[in-house]
Amino acid sequence: MPVEQIKHIVDYGIIGFLLFLSFLTFAFAIERMLFYRNIKLDEYRHIKALELDLGKHLSAIASIGVNAPYIGLLGTVLAIILTFYIIGEQANDVNAGEIMKHLALALKATAAGLVVAIPATAIYNALLTKVDKLIAQWEILRDEGKLRG
């Protein structure tokens, strides 16, 4: 397989996967926000049932936020390995400008990983704060005897 094909697989595979993870993050976040907006706390008799419903998809968002930089770093490492392979093939005719261009482009995967991870982590923290508030509101309802059942 030619080096250029491998380079495209690394670039588009890693960055495509990161884009997919970003899409998942925002889809889960929108679903959670809609769920939290429409939740009826007084219908929950047990706090564990409430916690289970409130916590759905949060671990997926957290996992994306934690792992996206590593996925980006993997793409960068693979691209740098390919760059060194290209240097090895062109040992007699090494063009420093071309090598620097390849190394600079290799870093785009790490940047993409960070672009996915930072919002995912912020979204996770915001949703977790909302979960804490909803649980506190449920506890107030329980203490006031306003829960159904």
The per-residue pLDDT for range 29-61, each reduced to its tens digit, is: 999 999 999 999 999 999 999 999 999 999 999
What element of type H or E holds 80? helix 58-89
Length of the chain: 149
- Both tokens of 28, joined, read 């889960």
pLDDT for 98 equals 77
- Predicted confidence at residue 124, as pLDDT, reads 98
**Tell me: the pLDDT tens digits for 64-73?**
999 999 999 9
Is residue 7 pLDDT above 80, yes or no? no
CB–CB of 131/61 below 8 Å?
Answer: no
Q: Would you list the domain boundaries of the chain?
A: 3-143
Q: How does residue 1 score in pLDDT terms, banded at 50, 70 and 90?
A: low
pTM across the whole model: 0.87
Cβ atoms of residues 60 and 31 within 8 Å: no
User: What are 92-138's pLDDT values in tens digits?
Assistant: 777 778 788 878 888 999 999 999 999 999 999 999 999 999 999 99
